[in-house]
Amino acid sequence: MHVQPIDLPEMTTQVRGGKYVVRGGVTLRGAIDISGAKNHALAAMCAALLTDEDLILENVPDISDVDSLGALLVSLGAEVERLPNRAVRLNCRQVNIFEAPTDLISENRASFQVMGPLVARHGYAASAPPGGDVIGQRPIDVHLSGFEAMGARVIREGERFVATAANGLHGARVFMDYPSVSGTQNVMMAAVLARGHVTIVNAATEPEVQGLIRLLNAMGARISGSGSQILEIDGVENLHGTTSRIMPDRIETGTFAIAAVMTGGDVELRDVPTGVMDALLTKLRSAGAQIDESDGMLRVRREGPIRAVSFQALPYPGLATDLHAPMAALLTQANGVSIIHERVFDNRMLYVSELRKMGAEIVSTGSSAIVSGPTPLHGTRVRALDVRAGAAVLLAAMVAQGTTIIDDIFHLDRGYERLTEKLTALGVEVERN
């Protein structure tokens, strides 16, 4: 069996830069497979810290955020190997460093989820505040107050946070000020090894959180209430290894579905997540799309004009904030005025400036945007400002007149697997250099 270990040096910092040259005026046609979900895979990789045994994750997307988290785990003493068919083997038996290196923690936000497992298993964890997309304040108070409620002592030492629990963690009733996705995952991963019972109130219910609960229970944890905002956790002595499949990526699915509607195409998306995309599919149908759903497959097409729709980006099951920017790109081509309210992050409107460079008519104030359409877009030079803002300008480039150059596409590499290949398979004229 060919095993490819993740070597630290190459995988530490993401390769910055890179650009796409996209010829506009395309109609997407064809079929692609959706990859595993970034935001499930990253949390699942951190769960490996909770056991000495092998954790095998299948359907792990080959994206740079997975590599940088893998490198972080290796820096703590873990073994992380890519296996054939997008599987990854993780083993944390040798972990003996409990502080996340600052250069790696700044690469992606999910890395901060090593804190919960480390303080629960080893009674000590330290890390600088995590990096990740610049889309708002992004505090970590919910994570830290969750650890404190279970008996950890959390102090700030210079740039880093240090959590200690020499006698382990204990049962508690943890109220989360905000149903934070990674906050719920981090606190939950600490709670599974606590002595006694932990109740998490106002927990996040995202599918990626539910996926992590399935994994932890498969490792021997005792969590109930998945999908609700109240999680009940009976702490156990220890967890064991398992093999688990990463769910398909609902944000990648949404991005390509929006692209199909935007270009008036006809696209088949295979291996999509079922039953977790109601908010988006409802809005796309209101905008004029025809969508057929069947066993893990979505066929998305549009013939008539795009109708304006308004939406709010909300915690699950509301419309995902990660699809806010791609939806805004679509609505530049809709007949009429669409109103967007961002209710999750306080600074997720940066994409507007890049779309406006292409001719979009968008007025944004604070966390809201008014999009007027249909407006012909034209090719120019723009930047991918983060993963999803990058997706928005990519979609706009597909319908723009002429050629668009998109800089800093390393952001897209962080969240979309084999993107160039998939775009080409759907008929997009795109060159990467």
Applying CB under 6 A, which residues contact ligand EPZ?
38-39, 42, 109-110, 133, 136-143, 178, 180-183, 206, 321-322, 344-345, 387-388, 415
- DSSP letter, residue 166: T
Q: Which is nearer to ligand EPZ, 101 or 211 (CB)?
A: 211
Phi-psi region of 336 (alpha: psi -120 to 50; beta: other; left: phi over 0): left
Q: Which is nearer to ligand EPZ, 109 or 283 (CB)?
A: 109
Q: Which is nearer to ligand EPZ, 82 or 324 (CB)?
A: 324
Q: Which is nearer to ligand EPZ, 263 or 367 (CB)?
A: 367
Q: Which is nearer to ligand EPZ, 51 or 367 (CB)?
A: 367
- Residues 6 or more apart whose CB falls under 8 angstroms from that of 144 comprise 154, 161, 163
Q: Which is nearer to ligand EPZ, 111 or 404 (CB)?
A: 111
Q: Which is nearer to ligand EPZ, 30 or 318 (CB)?
A: 318
Beta partners for 297? 270, 294
343: exposed, middle or buried (Cβ count in 10 Å: 0-12, 13-18, 19+): middle
Number of Cβ atoms within 10 Å of the Cβ of 282: 14
Please answer whether residues 109 and 130 qualify as being in contact, where contact means their C-beta atoms are separated by less than 8 angstroms: yes
Tell me the closest approach of the beta carbon of residue 362 to ligand EPZ, in angstroms.
20
- Give the DSSP letter string of 139-156: --HHHHHHHHHTT-EEEE
Q: Which is nearer to ligand EPZ, 142 or 384 (CB)?
A: 142
Tell me the closest approach of the beta carbon of residue 251 to ligand EPZ, in angstroms.
6
Tell me the closest approach of the beta carbon of residue 184 to ligand EPZ, in angstroms.
8
Give the C-alpha separation, 403 to 391, whole Å: 16
Tell me the closest approach of the beta carbon of residue 173 to ligand EPZ, in angstroms.
18
Give the C-alpha separation, 394 to 180, whole Å: 28
Q: Which is nearer to ligand EPZ, 98 or 345 (CB)?
A: 345
357: exposed, middle or buried (Cβ count in 10 Å: 0-12, 13-18, 19+): middle
Distance from the Cα of residue 19 to its chain's centroid: 22
Sheet holding 242-245, edge to edge: 4-5, 79-83, 87-91, 55-58, 242-245
Please answer whether residues 362 and 342 qualify as being in contact, where contact means their C-beta atoms are separated by less than 8 angstroms: no
Please answer whether residues 373 and 335 qualify as being in contact, where contact means their C-beta atoms are separated by less than 8 angstroms: yes
Tell me the closest approach of the beta carbon of residue 343 to ligand EPZ, in angstroms.
9
Angstrom CA distances, 24 to 45, 245, 400, 403, stand at: 38, 37, 5, 6
Tell me the closest approach of the beta carbon of residue 112 to ligand EPZ, in angstroms.
8
Q: Which is nearer to ligand EPZ, 302 or 388 (CB)?
A: 388
**Exposure of 67 in the CB half-sphere (CA atoms within 13 A):** 19
- Residues 6 or more apart whose CB falls under 8 angstroms from that of 294 comprise none
Tell me the closest approach of the beta carbon of residue 424 to ligand EPZ, in angstroms.
23
Number of Cβ atoms within 10 Å of the Cβ of 85: 8
Q: Which is nearer to ligand EPZ, 151 or 254 (CB)?
A: 254
Tell me the closest approach of the beta carbon of residue 137 to ligand EPZ, in angstroms.
5
Tell me the closest approach of the beta carbon of residue 317 to ligand EPZ, in angstroms.
12
Beta strands in 79-180 (DSSP E): 79-83, 87-91, 124-127, 153-157, 160-164, 170-175
Tell me the closest approach of the beta carbon of residue 23 to ligand EPZ, in angstroms.
26
Tell me the closest approach of the beta carbon of residue 110 to ligand EPZ, in angstroms.
4
